A = this chain, B = another copy of it.
Amino acid sequence: MENINTKKVILASRSPRRQYLLKGLGIEFEVWVKNDVDEQYPSHLSCEEIPVFLARRKAQTFTDKLRNNHLLITADTIVWCEEQVIDKPKDFHDAREILNKLSGNKHLVITGVCIKTLEKEVSFFASTDVYFSNLANQEIEYYLEKCKPYDKAGAYGIQEWIGYIGIEKIEGSYFNVMGLPVQRLYSELKKF
């Protein structure tokens, strides 16, 4: 990636999973975070447009901090099931309801990514189909007690116990389900 070697890469995300995944690409980067990014979006957007819209908005909020040699990466991940966005759970009860909905069902995990410098902006999404087996109530409750997935859209982490025992198959990128489609990001950075 000679083309971005002169840039200082910045990942604007507080997600430890995104930081871990970007490290896996072998890229050096700095982390920036900001509180209170508005996560509303226009209601006419399709499920693929929503996370791209939010990733671009996150990038915009950093515009005045960007310098010539900066390359900013932002991302947003949504879970989409039965024609609805599944948010982060509010509490135990909500998380249990979400996992009951995903149980025995297919959902989509869509991550929007924005790469931004002062001169250029590229955004894209990656989508993965995820198929859960039928989860027993005691499996859901054991997982919620043990892993407390309240910071996760869809109330689960694919790399956690529930992913081991409950995910029958996926179609698409595994790392995208964790929060960052690293292969696609790598290929976009090479072209950037």
B164 touches A182 (CB 8 A): yes
Chain B residues, CB < 8 A from A21: 164
B175 touches A164 (CB 8 A): yes
Chain B residues, CB < 8 A from A174: 158, 170, 174
Closest Cβ–Cβ distance, residue A99 to chain B (whole Å)? 15
B173 touches A171 (CB 8 A): no
**A133-B187, A183-B133, A187-B133 known; A25 and B170 CB under 8 Å?**
no
Task: Indicate which residue in B158, B169, B173 contacts A167 across the interface (CB closer than 8 Å).
Answer: B173
Chain A residues numbered 5-51 whose CB sits less than 8 Å from any CB in chain B: 21, 24-26
| Contact mask for chain A residues 108-123; partner B; CB cutoff 8 A; 1 contact, 0 none | 0000000000000000
B170 touches A182 (CB 8 A): no
**A133-B183, A133-B187 known; A169 and B172 CB under 8 Å?**
yes
| Contact mask for chain A residues 164-192; partner B; CB cutoff 8 A; 1 contact, 0 none | 11111111111100000011101100000
Q: Is A92 an interface residue (CB 8 A)?
A: no
A183 touches B164 (CB 8 A): yes
Closest Cβ–Cβ distance, residue A112 to chain B (whole Å)? 17
**A25-B164, A161-B24 known; A173 and B169 CB under 8 Å?**
yes
A183 touches B165 (CB 8 A): yes
Report how far A186 CA is from B162 CA in the complex, Å: 11
Q: Can you list 14 pairs linking A and B with CB atoms under 8 Å apart?
A: A21-B164, A24-B164, A25-B161, A25-B164, A128-B169, A133-B187, A164-B182, A165-B186, A168-B184, A169-B171, A169-B173, A170-B170, A170-B172, A171-B171
Sample of 15 more A-B contacts, CB < 8 Å, known A166-B183, A169-B172: A25-B165, A26-B161, A128-B169, A133-B183, A133-B187, A158-B174, A164-B175, A164-B182, A164-B186, A165-B182, A167-B173, A167-B183, A170-B170, A170-B171, A170-B172
